[in-house]
Amino acid sequence: MPETRPASSPAHAHAQGPVRGNDYEAHFQGALARLHGERRYRVFADIERIAGRFPIANWRRPDGATSEITVWCSNDYLGMGQHPEVVAALTDTARRCGVGAGGTRNIAGNNSPLVDLERELADLHGKEAGLVFTSGYVSNQAGISTIAKLIPDCLILSDAFNHNSMIEGVRHAGCEKRIFRHNDVAHLEELLIAAAGRNVLIAFESVYSMDGDVAPIGAICDLAEKYGAMTYLDEVHAVGLYGPRGGGMAERQGVMHRVDVIEGTLAKGFGCVGGYITGSAALCDAVRSFAPGFIFTTAIPPAIAAAARASVRYLKRSNGEREAHQRQAAATKRALEEAGLPVLATETHIVPVMVGDAELCKAAADHLLERHAIYIQPINYPTVPRGTERLRITPSPFHDDARIATLTAALVETWDTLDLPRAGTVFAQAAE
Ligand SMILES: *Cc1c(COP(=O)(O)O)cnc(C)c1O
């Protein structure tokens, strides 16, 4: 903010070094030291995915040497990121159209592959329209905040376990909000009764990605209809994966037409990048017209739009990947349970193995990578509550039975070596 700069501090002062004796670096170092102190400092493995060989990847060690590892924590749930039709759509379109979109859609117009993708997504969810954003994160943040701002005196009712992108959308909406207990329709109804006569937006997810549990979508729609509320559903961990055409959990439960706004990502089950909302034509047009997170950022590249559309189209007609995905996820859960590992029971494809301690969780992940060439990123606070740290395992159709057996043996060895808690342990959430 140049207008608030004191006269004694000219604009070029920073070029001559600090003039006020402030040690800004110390703030960053201090913040990192606090993270280290709480054992929350995150290290990302440096890996290179290998098209055609998923889930095998090259791991570049800190010393620069490379070795092959098996990835067990990817959200490219079906391996669509390497699917020949998806890769071909990307490369063909990049050759035809080049790489970048050339600007925001307000400046550079729509690119045709993106228009086609939005039609494809609207059809996937049985809605009038779709609107694509640069990521699922942005679609939630921009979508929820803009929708709620356009509704007079809106009250947002938000599930307690909603993803950070939805929480940010709620915050940016600037309106009143109430949090309902996770998946608790009785609590939601209490809040709806208390809000009688008001405009209400209910924001929730279908598949919660850390515990792998599923929302009672139909029951929430019942309440929304009874009390005149609107529904906004994040299907990020379900699109492509559930429903006869990959429309998500709402499609599978036969309630897709009852949800007002369905949000999804192109980055997980569809294996690309980008996010979207689908809903009524007026709603999507209004968000297009008013959401800063849509207006002021460059559109996704045409090649990405074409790749994502190829992925969506393929998964509309092919069930084999979904069936193999569920089969291998169930086989993984069974094998780990039989080995006495503390698998959290889930109804979905997500396989959390509980550790309950941040340091041990990281130690287990390090041991698996270094000793067994198995990559599973540790999941610690704030992604999950303290005391419920875990390894989050995501089997895909490409994690075959032999790989499951190798994983099971590696986990058992790791649990023995580090003396980690077995099945039957109660993992209590630590008080914040
Ligand atoms: C990953 C995630 C998002 C964000 O999607 P991206 O496309 O990765 O930005 C939104 N909601 C949930 C529940 C997620 O897990």
* HEC profile of 13-24: HHHHCCCCCCCH
pLDDT-derived band at 22, boundaries 50, 70, 90: confident
Which of 134, 165, 348 gets mutated to test ligand 1 (max ligand atoms within 8 A of its CB)? 165
The C-alpha atoms of residue 374 and residue 366 are separated, in whole angstroms, by: 9
* pLDDT of the residue at 26: 95
* pLDDT of the residue at 238: 98
For ligand 1, the distance from its centroid to the CA atom of residue 136, given in whole angstroms, is 5
For ligand 1, the distance from its centroid to the CA atom of residue 120, given in whole angstroms, is 20
Instruction: For the chain, give the percent of residues with pLDDT over 70.
Output: 95
Chain Cα centroid distance, residue 412: 29
pLDDT-derived band at 141, boundaries 50, 70, 90: very high
CA neighbor of 320 nearest in space, from 83, 71, 123, 54: 83
For ligand 1, the distance from its centroid to the CA atom of residue 267, given in whole angstroms, is 8
pLDDT tens digits for range 204-258: 999 999 999 999 999 999 999 999 999 999 999 999 999 999 999 999 999 999 9
* pLDDT of the residue at 4: 44
Which is more confidently placed, 135 or 6?
135
pLDDT tens digits for range 276-300: 999 999 999 999 999 999 999 999 9
Q: Which residues are catalytic?
A: 268
* pLDDT of the residue at 16: 57
Query: Is 5's pLDDT higher than 60?
Result: no
Is 201 within 8 Å of 147 (Cβ atoms)?
yes
Is 132 within 8 Å of 300 (Cβ atoms)?
yes
DSSP reduced 3-state for 111: coil
Q: At a CB cut-off of 8 Å and minimum separation 6, what does 268 contact?
A: 75, 76, 77, 136, 236, 237, 239, 240
Residues with CB under 6 A from ligand 1: 135-137, 140, 163, 165, 205, 209, 234, 236-237, 265, 267, 275
Q: Which residues on neighbouring strands pair with residue 71, listed in sequence order? A: 375
* pLDDT of the residue at 32: 97
* pLDDT of the residue at 431: 54
* pLDDT of the residue at 39: 81
Burial readout 303-332 (b: 16 or more C-beta within 10 A, e: otherwise): bbbbbbbbbbbbbbeeeebbebbbebbebb
Is 247 within 8 Å of 256 (Cβ atoms)?
yes
* pLDDT of the residue at 15: 53
Q: Whose CA is nearest to atom 5 of ligand 1?
A: 136
Average pLDDT, the chain: 94
* pLDDT of the residue at 428: 79
* pLDDT of the residue at 147: 98
Q: Which residue has the tokens 């968000």?
A: 287
Which of 208, 268, 277 gets mutated to test ligand 1 (max ligand atoms within 8 A of its CB)? 268
313-340 average pLDDT score: 98
Query: Is 186's pLDDT higher than 80?
Result: yes
Q: Whose CA is nearest to atom 13 of ligand 1?
A: 163
pLDDT-derived band at 17, boundaries 50, 70, 90: low
Query: Is 430's pLDDT higher than 60?
Result: yes
Amino acid identity of residue 85, one-letter, is: E
